[in-house]
């Protein structure tokens, strides 16, 4: 029949369907599936259906006897109904599943309770619609880190970058890439490279088309995904008097890359640094002093024998948003014993109307901190579905 053959007409009908009906329609025929999978259709649908977009973060802890890690999801926006359910049990893996990396709405997960790397399976997953896809194994004995590079504004396809330990050359790594467009297997990218400093390969951050791994020495490492080039960016000098760098947070939000170093625990003062667009340096974007917070929440302070205060807090997440025309909003989610506290970086105040406590049943004050930034995976889905 004629009307079913006109793509413009079909698109006008399909885009008015609610999300579940739309996804069911993919099963009707190949042509509809093709129309619904077109990047332009997806981005228009996403724009017209903002109720499905949620921004927040996962908190993951590993419990001794449990098959799966414990996951909680804390939404940072109003669309709480759109929040993904924190359980990943829809991924069928007899060893349970944990989150390795998160990027623009995609999660990279892998088998949790398995001893040998060759037993471990990897998955790309979209938790809001519970879609997931197993990836072929990277085929290396040691995986130092594995991250997704995904920018839905540029392409519906994603790449997965794996930093493998080299089997023969000590202190060498090899990058392998999986491309969802090609879809079959991993391939080596470039030659093995020597790694002398310590880099947090398991905490990659995707920013400006490159994956960034923060370093504990003089440099951070970056990998331009498109051009497959490794590069270094300078880290700020380690604070005088300290032998080791104290990383407090490293992440991206709203198109900016942030770094926090906290030379504690006897301090409540630290800077939030932002990387300049040309990668030349870090500059101080916000200066934070939490002494007011400590006064309000005594659980944050521990006293030891010599009456020196020790402040117990960690930074979990930084959210930067453009609100309205020229307004920016920047919120730090702090963790103190038993609580999550959102903190407004622009005017150094606490935010009262964000209450994550319904999600936090079971966090005990006495046990100190349950989470640090490495246990957190930010999540914001910028498109409605894979």
Partner 1 sequence: MASSSTSVVVSNKEKENKNTKKVTLKSSDGESFEVDESVAMESQTIKHIIEDGCANNEIPLPNVTSGILSRVIEYCKKHKEAAGESEPSVTSYTSNSTTNPLTEWDTEFVKVDQNTLFDLILAANYLDIKGLLDLTCKTVADMMKGKTPQEIRETFHIKNDYTPEEEAEVRKENQWAFE
Interface pick for partner 1 out of 79, 131, 344, 382 (rule CB under 8 A): 131
- Site for partner 1 (CB under 8 A): how many residues? 34
**369 burial type by CB count under 10 A (0-12 exposed, 13-18 middle, 19+ buried):** middle
Question: CA nearest 362: which of 78, 87, 71?
Answer: 71
How far is 356 from 353, CA to CA, in rounded Å?
A: 10
25 near partner 1, judged by CB under 8 A: yes
28 near partner 1, judged by CB under 8 A: yes
Interface pick for partner 1 out of 130, 166, 246, 321 (rule CB under 8 A): 130
End-to-end CA distance of the chain: 30
- Minimum distance of partner 1 from residue 24's CB (angstroms): 5
23 near partner 1, judged by CB under 8 A: yes
26 near partner 1, judged by CB under 8 A: yes
Q: Which is nearer to partner 1, 83 or 340 (CB)?
A: 83
**Residue at token pair 């947090």:** 200
**Residue 172, beta-bridge partner list:** 194
With contacts defined by CB under 8 A, name the span among 22-30, 100-108, 183-191, 341-349 that binds partner 1: 22-30
- Minimum distance of partner 1 from residue 180's CB (angstroms): 14
- Minimum distance of partner 1 from residue 89's CB (angstroms): 13
With contacts defined by CB under 8 A, name the span among 31-39, 62-70, 242-250, 302-310 that binds partner 1: 31-39
With contacts defined by CB under 8 A, name the span among 29-37, 58-66, 111-119, 175-183 that binds partner 1: 29-37
How far is 92 from 123, CA to CA, in rounded Å?
A: 10
229 near partner 1, judged by CB under 8 A: no
How far is 331 from 262, CA to CA, in rounded Å?
A: 17
CA separation, residue 375 to residues 64, 81, 124 (Å):
16, 24, 19
Report CA 169 to chain centroid distance, whole Å.
31
Is 80 in contact with 56 (CB distance < 8 Å)? Answer: no
Structure tokens at 253: 């939000």
H or E element at residue 37: helix 30-37
With contacts defined by CB under 8 A, name the span among 23-31, 174-182, 204-212, 281-289 that binds partner 1: 23-31
239 near partner 1, judged by CB under 8 A: no
- Minimum distance of partner 1 from residue 114's CB (angstroms): 24
Strand order in the sheet with 376-380: 70-75, 55-61, 376-380
Q: Which is nearer to partner 1, 131 or 202 (CB)?
A: 131
7 near partner 1, judged by CB under 8 A: no
- Minimum distance of partner 1 from residue 237's CB (angstroms): 49
With contacts defined by CB under 8 A, name the span among 8-16, 57-65, 169-177, 307-315 that binds partner 1: 8-16
- Minimum distance of partner 1 from residue 134's CB (angstroms): 12
183 near partner 1, judged by CB under 8 A: no
How far is 256 from 170, CA to CA, in rounded Å?
A: 35
12 near partner 1, judged by CB under 8 A: yes
Residues 191-220 that bind partner 1 (CB under 8 A): none
Extended strands (E) in 77-142:
97-103, 106-111, 122-126, 131-135
With contacts defined by CB under 8 A, name the span among 21-29, 189-197, 275-283, 338-346 that binds partner 1: 21-29
Please give the backbone phi and psi of residue 238, each rounded to the nearest 5 degrees, phi first.
-70, 140
How far is 93 from 100, CA to CA, in rounded Å?
A: 15
Binding mask 88-127 for partner 1 (x = CB under 8 A): --x-------------------------------------
365 near partner 1, judged by CB under 8 A: no
How far is 91 from 94, CA to CA, in rounded Å?
A: 9
Q: Give the β-pairing of 122-126 and 106-111.
A: antiparallel
Q: Which is nearer to partner 1, 18 or 190 (CB)?
A: 18
Q: Give the β-pairing of 187-194 and 172-179.
A: antiparallel
Is 36 in contact with 22 (CB distance < 8 Å)? Answer: yes
- Minimum distance of partner 1 from residue 110's CB (angstroms): 20
Residues 46-75 that bind partner 1 (CB under 8 A): 48
Is 282 in contact with 259 (CB distance < 8 Å)? Answer: yes
Which residues of the chain form contacts with partner 1 (CB under 8 A)?
1-4, 6, 8-9, 12-14, 16-33, 48, 90, 129-131, 133
């Amino acid at each position: 029949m004629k009307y079913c053959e006109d793509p413009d007409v079909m698109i006008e009908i399909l885009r008015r369907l609610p999300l579940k009906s739309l996804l069911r329609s993919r099963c009707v025929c190949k042509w509809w599936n093709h129309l619904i999978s077109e990047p332009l259709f997806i981005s228009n649908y996403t724009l017209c259906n903002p109720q499905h977009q949620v921004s927040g973060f996962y908190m993951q802890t590993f419990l001794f006897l449990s098959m799966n890690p414990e996951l909680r999801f804390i939404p940072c926006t109003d669309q709480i109904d759109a929040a993904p359910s924190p359980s990943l049990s829809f991924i069928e893996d007899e060893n349970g599943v944990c989150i390795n990396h998160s990027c623009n709405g995609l999660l990279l997960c892998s088998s949790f309770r398995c001893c040998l790397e060759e037993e471990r399976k990897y998955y790309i997953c979209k938790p809001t619609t519970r879609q997931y896809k197993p990836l072929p194994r990277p085929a290396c004995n040691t995986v130092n880190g594995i991250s997704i590079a995904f920018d839905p504004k540029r392409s519906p396809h994603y790449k997965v970058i794996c930093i493998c330990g080299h089997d023969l050359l000590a202190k060498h790594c090899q990058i392998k890439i999986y491309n969802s467009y090609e879809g079959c297997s991993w391939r080596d990218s470039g030659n093995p490279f020597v790694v002398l400093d310590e880099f947090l390969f398991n905490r990659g951050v995707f920013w400006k088309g490159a994956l960034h791994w923060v370093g504990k020495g003089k440099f951070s490492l970056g990998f331009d995904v498109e051009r497959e080039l490794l590069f270094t960016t300078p880290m700020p000098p380690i604070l005088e008097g300290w032998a080791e760098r104290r990383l407090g947070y490293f992440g991206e939000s709203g198109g900016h890359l942030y770094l926090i170093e906290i030379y504690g625990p006897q301090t409540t003062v630290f800077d939030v640094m932002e990387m300049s667009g040309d990668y030349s340096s870090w500059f101080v974007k916000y200066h934070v002093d939490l002494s007011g917070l400590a006064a309000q929440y005594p659980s944050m302070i521990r006293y030891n024998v010599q009456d020196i205060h020790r402040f117990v807090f960690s930074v979990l997440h930084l959210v930067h948003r453009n609100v309205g025309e020229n307004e920016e909003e920047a919120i730090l989610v702090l963790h103190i014993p038993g609580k999550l506290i959102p903190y407004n970086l622009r005017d150094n105040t606490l935010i009262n109307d964000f209450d994550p406590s319904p999600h936090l049943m079971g966090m005990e004050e006495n046990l100190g901190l349950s989470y640090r930034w490495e246990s957190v995976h930010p999540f914001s889905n910028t498109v409605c579905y894979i």
